[in-house]
C-alpha cells in the first residue's frame, strides 16, 4: 500500500506544510538567517505605458453612480414580471418589496 501524503489535517497541531513558496535564504549553524539575493522573488512587470486603464478610480464616480437610482420595488413592477403569474402572487411580491424598501430606508430589520 502506498504511503499517504502528509497534509496539515494529518499532521500534529504544529505541522505547517506551506505551499511551496521556497526560502529566500538559509539558516547558519549559529541560528542566524542569511538572505541570499539570488533567491529573491523577481516579478516581471509588463510595460503599461500605452495602456488605457489606470490603477485609480475616477474621482467623479460618485456623481455617475448617483445619477442612476433604483429601489427594490423596481424589480417587482407589474410590467417587469411574466404575464402568466397569478395576480395574488404579484400583489404579495409588490407588498414584500414595499416592506423591504421601507425597512432599508428606516434602517430596521
Could you report the per-residue pLDDT of 70-107, keeping only the tens digit for each? 666 666 666 666 667 677 777 777 787 777 777 766 76
**Residue 3: inside a domain, yes or no?**
no
What residues contact residue 78 under an 8 Å CB cut-off, 6+ apart? 90, 94
Q: What is the predicted pLDDT for the residue at 75?
A: 64
The span from the CA of 78 to the CA of 85, in Å, is 10
Structural domain boundaries, residue 75: 71-106
**Mean pLDDT calculated for residue range 10-34:** 87
In a domain, 7, yes or no: no
Q: Which pLDDT value is given to residue 35?
A: 92
Give the model's pLDDT for residue 65. 55
Give the dihedral of Cα atoms 42, 47, 52, 57; nearest 10 deg. Answer: 30
Share of residues in the chain with pLDDT > 70 (%): 67
pTM reported for the whole predicted model? 0.30
- C-alpha cell of residue 76: 417587482
Cell of 8: 496539515
* Residue 81 forms part of a structural domain: yes
- For residue 40, being part of any structural domain is answered with no
Amino acid at each position: 500500500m502506498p504511503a499517504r501524503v502528509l497534509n496539515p489535517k494529518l499532521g500534529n497541531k504544529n505541522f505547517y506544510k506551506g505551499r511551496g513558496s521556497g526560502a529566500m535564504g538559509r539558516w547558519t549553524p549559529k541560528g542566524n538567517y542569511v538572505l541570499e539575493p539570488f533567491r529573491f522573488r523577481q516579478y516581471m512587470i509588463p510595460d503599461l505605458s500605452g495602456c488605457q486603464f489606470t490603477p485609480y478610480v475616477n474621482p467623479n464616480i460618485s456623481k455617475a453612480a448617483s445619477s442612476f437610482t433604483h429601489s427594490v420595488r423596481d424589480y417587482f413592477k407589474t410590467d417587469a414580471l411574466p404575464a402568466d403569474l397569478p395576480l395574488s402572487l404579484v400583489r404579495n411580491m409588490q407588498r414584500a418589496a414595499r416592506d423591504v424598501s421601507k425597512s432599508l430606508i428606516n434602517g430596521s430589520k
